[in-house]
Structure 1
Amino acid sequence: MTTTRILRSRLALATCGALGLALVTGCTAGTKASSSGGDGESRLGDLQVLTEEATSEVDSVKWNVFQGEPSTVDPFRSADYTPNMINSNMCETLLSQTNEFDIAPNLAESFENPDPLHWVYTLRDDVTFWDGTPMTAEDVAWSLEHNRTDPATFYNYLYSNVESVDVTGEHEVTVTLKRPDYLFNDELASFAGVVVQKKHYEANEDTYGSPATGVMCTGPYMYEKWTKGESITLARNDDYWNDELQPKVRTFEFTFLVDSAAITSALLSGEIDGTYFVPEAGIDQLRNSGRGTVTAGPAPLNLTFVYANSDGAAANPEVRKALQMAIDWKGIAESVYKDTAEPLKIQTPRYAFGAANDDLQEYVDTLPEPPSAKYEEAKKIVDALPASVRSEEISMVLPAVAETQQFALAVKDAATRIGLNFKLKVVPETGYSNYLYDPATRGDIDIFYTTFWSNIPNPLDWLSLTAVTGGLFNQYGYTGIDDLFAEAQGTKDPAKQAELILQMEEKLREDLLPMVPGLEIHNTVWMNNRITGAPAAFNFLYYPWAAHVGGTE
């Protein structure tokens, strides 16, 4: 399992997100929409899945990837905002994640599960790679097998229940499982199901995904060039197989600005045409400039923290309960994230509910509003604790990024107000990942900051990463839902599976472990007046979103 790499995808907002800078101390302003329920909205208006449809072709578009230059565009090693935002337009998957957070056929036109240990995929027969050669069952089987057998791929861990991948027909591939796994099929809508040309990969294995080699895939945009330190350029694939999603921009150039002020300036000047995760500090200026449009969309993101020390003071459930109700979640959402966020009632945000949506939504609707800035109530809980617990230090580690520190300072303010001994440990941005991956570095740190998103819109994927033994964000070693998860993963009946998921969510909310309900962050997108069409929903990681972009005239 490649735990030292896949986690970086969960850290991107913690380390590179362009969020607000205000310090929150005791704010109590409310948000505009109930968490995880109903139609969301932000100060930018109602959340939108799509922006206005493009009506014309455009020669070129410059789009910024806010996290900076990637190290590779190899989709097997891609699990972060920057490479995925680019790769999603080049390399496609067997199944697809739609803008509405559903999972649908894609390169596989259909699939079936004839028995608990087999998944059979019927492939499209009209798909070609950029060099004009057809996508074959051998290419597909090889791509899945590469994820299964190469431990260096980011998605290898998702193949733990897979015995083999075999070509079983001219346009058919069969996956054989070691045990029933009804999460695996949905995972093929991430790069766990990516398809590349076998011949090209094997001929360029040592340099695959590098500036010199690029990739060979089937998507609406083709790899053209990579100018190190400057940009990556994609060219339109005029022979793209999907008639319903034909790209309108001839050349897409991705730039690498990371400084919030520089991004805002480049957007206002027209140097850059668009970006996702619009810098919070510049949103109002951009929105009022008349030079473009800022749109907010739904996103399965939880900005939160994770408990990591089962032996410290925070292992006491009363400590966790008191801290959770003392943190001013509403004030953070308004003052730090300027109402592009809202407090969550459970750790899994609504746009990750997937097939369990009805059960989870009904449950969430019955819950009270999340507690926020309940200092007096929380202090009473702390005062009743033994003096040894109150005096024991609770430590929170975070990267040295101004935006992240504002959130952490608000957490510390809450802890101090209610009498907890709370300490912040700020570490270099480049070294923060070591605290998450390396137990020796982590030591007895109690809490980690993160903005978390799952691979796919399926709550089992979310829970597998955050709350099950061996999960990438279960540094605490929590075991409270292991049996329920194993049963749900092996359960085919959607209704029964949803019941088990609901039981897990109830248990996690009660225990406040390992991840707590934090803030659901909205996605934002800016486009200047000459272009439109980019999805506003947070779906640019595995979906060919750039094919929607085009001109406004």
Structure 2
Amino acid sequence: MHWRSKLLALAVSLLFGTLLFCFAQEKTLVVAIEHDVMTLDPGNHRDRETETVIRNMFDGLVTRTPDMEIVPELAVSWERPSPNEWVFHLRDGVTWHDGTPFTAEDVKFTIDRTVKEGMIAGQTSPRKGLLGSVTGAEVIDRLTVKIITSTPWPALISFLPFHEIVPKHYVEEVGDEYFAEHPVGTGPFKFVRWDKGVQVVMERYEGYYGGSPDIPPVGPAKVDRVIFRIIPETSTRIAALRAGEVHIATRIPVDLIPEIEADPNLQVMAVRGTRSTFIEMNVTKPPFDSVLVRRAMNYAIDVDKIVDLVLAGLATPIPSLLSPDSPFYKPLEPYGYDPERARALLAEAGYPDGFELTIDCEDYLKDVAVVVAQMLRQVGIDAKVQVWEWGVLKPKLLAHERAMWITDWGNGSLDPTGIMHPKLVTGERGNYSGYSSCLYDGLFEFANNVTLDPESRKEAFHIAQEVIYYDAPMVFLYVAQEVYGVSRRVANWRPSPDSRINLHDADLMG
């Protein structure tokens, strides 16, 4: 019996060692993000950080490649049988993380839940505006669904990547509030737990259908587990990256890039983002009710110098609100830096001695605001900077109480509807400047609700960019690069312009 006991002990030891080896080989990829997610319900937020976490557990009808090309995902194809109808043919064999088959009922449920009033725990989805004139959806058969719009809305496909499909059966069974903290999706990773304020943990879904065939490799995720760890402080994110505790760190400031580049185990990865930065002016009150003064501001600010001095060259100057990556971008000649012309325009407008001005901003744009103030002082404007919390500043902007502020606006759709419409169409939600132009509004009405011709739509948006160029309700600054610190162990991943961190194909080496 003695030898049997020894043999049993040896077997147990070997088994335990094998298990330890297997666990040691498990690949866990950790991403450090700046703030916690707002929810894990794809339909109940307007937050990029929340979106990037959710995107790894849920798929949409379509998605974007890292080059921002729109490709099929849960849909395999689509057509437009009439101006107000889009028919999508869905991928067969897809299952939710609980094993239930994905069908057209889920798509209808998701669309209706997004655009109809009071569908999420009695509240209306904050993402409703990201579906334009969509009024609902109809099931044609198990794998075919029709999306209906109230007007011809050509931008639909550009906005669909913002919308992940949710499971009708599960949401109806557990309710909106439980779903928001215990999600079930169709994506490459399934939910494990959410330690609020600390991390979101997910693991590979072995039954994953493989993802978009246009983004190879197709198949299950490469890593076993993904953790999105919340680390608000930049220095702490970088320290965790250098210690090997995280593998991807977001939002690296330009002044800390050399610290990462000096570490042989790390690399800096950057991509031009989709967030335009600009200076808005209150056009409803003096002095910025004068177009001469607004043009003077454009000539007084050296955008190239701001990009070089503050952003270390990691930004692209823009002559309008659109990113150069937008297919609707018109390459207008920038105003250029001309302080003499700025002074002449100020004098012509009745301000030969300038005026006093406070430039408002949030803390992350303070360095830019300080340089802008210095430049304005060079043309006789007594400018100073005031830093605000956004929650305090926004109501004042909506009430048109402030004169000038520096801000930015993300436009992951790359369609003018995502930025030029909310920022400058009369009365829209982001139009803090009070700008109003019948011509500009009419061009958007034509482009979004009248024409079906892509070239006519593009021409309308080109004219709209010329209108705001000459009306100058803003000083157009730049589109900055999104900068990440990345461990050299990370393979098959690169940043996306829309700042989503898609980890389906990412792997850990060594």
Aligned partner letter, 2:175: E
**Higher mean C-alpha displacement, 85-94 vs 470-479:** 470-479
Q: Note closer, same or farther for the CA distance 1:434–1:477 as it changes in structure 2 (3 Å cut).
A: closer
- 2:455 is the counterpart of 1:483: no
Show CA shifts across 1:363-394 (max 9, x none). 41xx445513x323322222333149943x44
The aligned counterpart of 1:375 is 339
The aligned counterpart of 2:17 is none
Higher relative contact order (CA 8 A, sep 6+): 1
Give the 3-state SS of the residue equivalent to 1:113 in structure 2: strand
The aligned counterpart of 1:237 is 205
Match of 1:183 among 148, 151, 155: 155
The aligned counterpart of 2:302 is 328
Q: What RMSD over aligned residues (CA atoms) do the two structures have, in Å?
A: 2.2
The aligned counterpart of 1:25 is none
Matches within 5 A, 1:369-448: 370-372=335-337, 374-387=338-351, 390-391=354-355, 393-399=356-362, 401=363, 403-428=364-389, 430-436=391-397, 438-439=398-399, 443-448=400-405
The aligned counterpart of 2:39 is 72
- 2:175 is the counterpart of 1:205: yes
User: Could you tell me how far apart the structure 2 residues matched to 1:116 and 1:429 are?
Assistant: 40
Give the 3-state SS of the residue equivalent to 2:273 in structure 1: coil
- 2:243 is the counterpart of 1:278: no
Show CA shifts across 1:18-64 (max 9, x none). xxxxxxxxxxxxxxxxxxxxxxxxxxxxxxxxxxxxxxx96101111
The aligned counterpart of 2:322 is 348
- 2:68 is the counterpart of 1:101: yes
Q: Note closer, same or farther for the CA distance 1:234–1:461 as it changes in structure 2 (3 Å cut).
A: same
The aligned counterpart of 1:462 is 419
Conserved? CA contact 1:103–1:186, under 8 Å: yes
Q: Note closer, same or farther for the CA distance 1:521–1:242 as it changes in structure 2 (3 Å cut).
A: same
Show CA shifts across 1:176-234 (max 9, x none). 2222211233321212xx21001222233342454xx3211111111111112221111
The aligned counterpart of 1:225 is 193
- 2:406 is the counterpart of 1:449: yes
Aligned partner letter, 1:118: E
User: Could you tell me how far apart the structure 1 residues matched to 2:128 and 2:176 are?
Assistant: 19
- 2:27 is the counterpart of 1:59: yes
Aligned partner letter, 1:274: I
Q: Note closer, same or farther for the CA distance 1:524–1:328 as it changes in structure 2 (3 Å cut).
A: same
User: Could you tell me how far apart the structure 2 residues matched to 1:266 and 1:397 are?
Assistant: 33
Q: What is the CA-CA distance between 1:147 and the residue it aligns to? A: 0.4
Q: Normalised by the size of structure 1, how large is the TM-score?
A: 0.80
The aligned counterpart of 1:145 is 112
Q: Note closer, same or farther for the CA distance 1:208–1:472 as it changes in structure 2 (3 Å cut).
A: farther
The aligned counterpart of 2:504 is 547
User: Could you tell me how far apart the structure 1 residues matched to 2:183 and 2:374 are?
Assistant: 48
User: Could you tell me how far apart the structure 2 residues matched to 1:417 and 1:58 are?
Assistant: 60
Q: Note closer, same or farther for the CA distance 1:348–1:551 as it changes in structure 2 (3 Å cut).
A: same
The aligned counterpart of 1:524 is 483
Q: Across the two proteins, how many residue pairs are aligned to each other? A: 472
- 2:53 is the counterpart of 1:89: no
Q: What is the CA-CA distance between 1:533 and the residue it aligns to? A: 2.5
The aligned counterpart of 1:500 is 460
User: Could you tell me how far apart the structure 2 residues matched to 1:488 and 1:379 are?
Assistant: 38
Q: What is the CA-CA distance between 1:78 and the residue it aligns to? A: 2.7
Q: What is the CA-CA distance between 1:534 and the residue it aligns to? A: 2.2
Aligned partner letter, 1:501: F
Match of 2:84 among 112, 117, 137: 117
User: Could you tell me how far apart the structure 2 residues matched to 1:500 and 1:172 are?
Assistant: 33
Give the 3-state SS of the residue equivalent to 2:475 in structure 1: coil
User: Could you tell me how far apart the structure 2 residues matched to 1:508 and 1:302 are?
Assistant: 15
Show CA shifts across 1:54-81 (max 9, x none). xxx9610111112x11231221123223
- 2:217 is the counterpart of 1:249: no
Give the 3-state SS of the residue equivalent to 2:433 in structure 1: coil
Q: What is the CA-CA distance between 1:121 and the residue it aligns to? A: 1.2
User: Could you tell me how far apart the structure 2 residues matched to 1:250 and 1:331 are?
Assistant: 46
Q: Normalised by the size of structure 2, how large is the TM-score?
A: 0.87
Aligned partner letter, 1:377: R
Aligned partner letter, 1:305: I
Q: Note closer, same or farther for the CA distance 1:116–1:129 as it changes in structure 2 (3 Å cut).
A: same
Aligned partner letter, 1:167: V
Identity across aligned pairs (percent)? 22
- 2:292 is the counterpart of 1:315: no
User: Could you tell me how far apart the structure 1 residues matched to 2:475 and 2:190 are?
Assistant: 41
Conserved? CA contact 1:312–1:394, under 8 Å: no
Show CA shifts across 1:145-188 (max 9, x none). 00011363122124452333111222111122222211233321
Aligned partner letter, 1:371: G
**Higher mean C-alpha displacement, 74-83 vs 304-313:** 304-313
Q: What is the CA-CA distance between 1:540 and the residue it aligns to? A: 3.9
Aligned partner letter, 2:494: P
Give the 3-state SS of the residue equivalent to 2:27 in structure 1: strand
Q: Note closer, same or farther for the CA distance 1:86–1:159 as it changes in structure 2 (3 Å cut).
A: closer
Structure 1 residue runs without a partner (length 5+): 1-56
